[in-house]
Amino acid sequence: MNTRTLLSSTLALAISTGLLAACGGGGSNGMLRADAPPNPPPSGAPAEPCPAPVTGDCTVTPSSGLTWTEGTEMTGGRQSDHALIVNGGGILHLRGDYRFSGGTTIEDGATLVVWDSLTSDVHVASPDPAKWGTEWPQLWLGSTLNGNVINDGTLSLQQLCGTGIDQCVETRHPVINGDYRQSATGQLQATFGWPLQINGSATIDGKLVLLGSGALNYVLPSAPASVLVLHANKGVMGQFADWASYSLFLTGSLRYQANDIYFDATAISVAPAMAAAKAGDAITLQSAAHFDAALGNAGTWANRPGASFSTTQRQFLASAGVIQRLQDYGQAIRTFDSMSGHGYADAAGSLLQQAALPAPELMARVGNLHAGSASGSWASRTAMLASGAGAFSGERAGFDQWLGDRTLLGSSFGWSEGSLRFDRSGGAARDQSPQWDVYVRRNGNGNAYVFGDVGYSRHQLDFNRRIDLGIRRQAAGARQSFDLMRAYIETGRDFRAGQIRVTPFAAASYAMLRGAGLTEQGSTGFELIAQPVTYQRFNGIAGLRLGTTWQGNGGRWTTLNLATGYRRLAYSRDNARAAFTGSPDVTFELIGTPPRRNSGWLQMSLATGGAHWNWLLSYDRQASDQALSLGAKLDF
């Protein structure tokens, strides 16, 4: 069989197989079409347990879910003379109006959520000792229960629509139209500011757990809050054997009256509590102290009789309440880091670090010129510079002229764009900056020289960050303008070995950064109002430069410029001050990452090109920050 025959046979086999697949294979000759099975009916919602009419006891083993809103639902209400039994560890949601005259039992780790109303005597069974701590039978009462309640497990009064800032407004209140009895194994999960109304009597034992809520916004240090836990029309008997609150920064005590139980809440000073827990560093603890001061000042206006609050003040107090109810120190660290505003100070530090040294392309230009060499206009290719929390890319062009044999005078103009990102919820910023400078180099005897550079740049920084309140990260942002003036003076000596130039040098630099004031936009009341600010830096520098150029055939060339050195910060001045928008009368120092006192740096550029093309590889490292860029240019 030749190749063509083989291909024909293979094609025929493929066609035959396709026909059989299309026509079906059930008939004697293989060509009869088989009827396709009908499509299955669409699957509907799973049947609800105990559909009406309920003619016997309703026993439900509900499903569980990843969140409390999942599980098994009963909707539309039921009216039954029989019992409801919920068991098995899942969650059953009752939506609508229900009556089970035979009583309701919750056992074996199950949870029953009452969204609207339930008419029934309810027994919440005690926890299974073999599963203690994980399998607590629970009644979650979000609305009205008509009947008596015996609680040997857990009665939860958590709001059904959320418990945090800017969440929905809950209209349902927990009400028991009957008597309430809690045994030694039972616990009541009460919600701050969301009392339980009992229209019968309350017999109390066991444990009380106080949960956070948007219903109680805040507690001022100067004004402890009396929070009603429950009210019983026919009296309160007994006391809770124990109580707990998982709010880090609230404490207090229970107070019993004939018909009421109160929790007298007292605010805890946040900064000492964080320090005692060894939570966070200097930035975290200082931010916590700013919170304490601002909340303390709020007592001067929030407690005035008939006081009306602005939108920002209401946001501030609501956010303060959320912070007071944080439940773990890890989240508290993230919250106070995000409130510190350290990104603004760190952005200024990045600009000042960039200003400590002249542009490397300018220094390479000046270093490669010598008396009698051609001066005039020049331009640099795009290069990246590392600086603090990010990198800056820039281009520069200039013009210089020899004044006699030894003095070079020039000026340059540049444009820089930077992208900064700050750790620890500091946010991010983008910078755009035009830059000007005037430079002069005076050559002395023996290849010694003195170089000076004076420059100015105008920076516009757009900040975006998140204030982390735990339940939600709220956006905040602002635009801030800076004027930067810098001066640099250097002396050194050139040594040459063939085509290689080696230059040891010593220098001093000064930079002053003036920032305009700003007001952040946001919705927490903890956004910042920053005052105008002045930063100053004075550095001493020692370093070494190496430069060389190779000329090839056809006009090709290659240059290498390398500079490395050591910088010591001799003087710094930072006077940035800010306040929270919700408490503008309390100002504080705006601090960031402390500037490095001693740091090394390395700058390298490698370029090659010809008559119509060139490319540049640049690398910049400032202490632990580094940037690498590669660019090319073609001329047609």
Quote the CA–CA distance of 427 and 338 in Å, as a whole number: 8
Q: What percent of the chain has pLDDT over 90?
A: 57
Strand partners, 80: 100
- Give the chain's radius of gyration (CA, Å): 38
**DSSP class of 241:** S
Q: Is the pTM of this model over 0.85?
A: no
pLDDT given at position 275: 97
At residue 151 the predicted structure's pLDDT band, cuts being 50, 70 and 90, is very high
**DSSP class of 101:** T
Strand partners, 267: 250
Is 335-633 a CATH 1.10.357.10 domain? Answer: no
Given strand 260-267, what is the order of strands in its sheet? 78-80, 97-100, 117-119, 144-146, 175-177, 196-198, 225-232, 260-267, 250-256
**Region 11-15 average pLDDT:** 34
Report the range of poorest mean pLDDT among 66-80, 194-208, 563-577: 66-80
Higher pLDDT, 273 or 392: 273
Residue 339: how many other CB atoms lie within 10 Å: 27
Widest CA span of the chain, in angstroms?
112
Q: Please say if the pLDDT value at position 64 is more than 60.
A: yes
Q: pLDDT by residue (tens digit) across 183-207?
A: 999 999 998 778 999 999 999 999 9
DSSP assignment of 345-409 = HHHHHHHHHHHTS--HHHHHHHHH--TTS--EEEE---EEEEETTEEEEEEEEEEEEEETTTEEE
**Region 561-587 average pLDDT:** 94
Report the range of poorest mean pLDDT among 132-146, 185-199, 404-418, 605-619: 605-619
Q: Where are the domains of the chain?
A: 56-269, 335-633
- Per residue in 14-27, is it b (16+ CB within 10 Å) or e — as a string? eeeeeeeeeeeeee
Kindly give the pairing relationship between strand 495-497 and strand 500-515. Answer: antiparallel
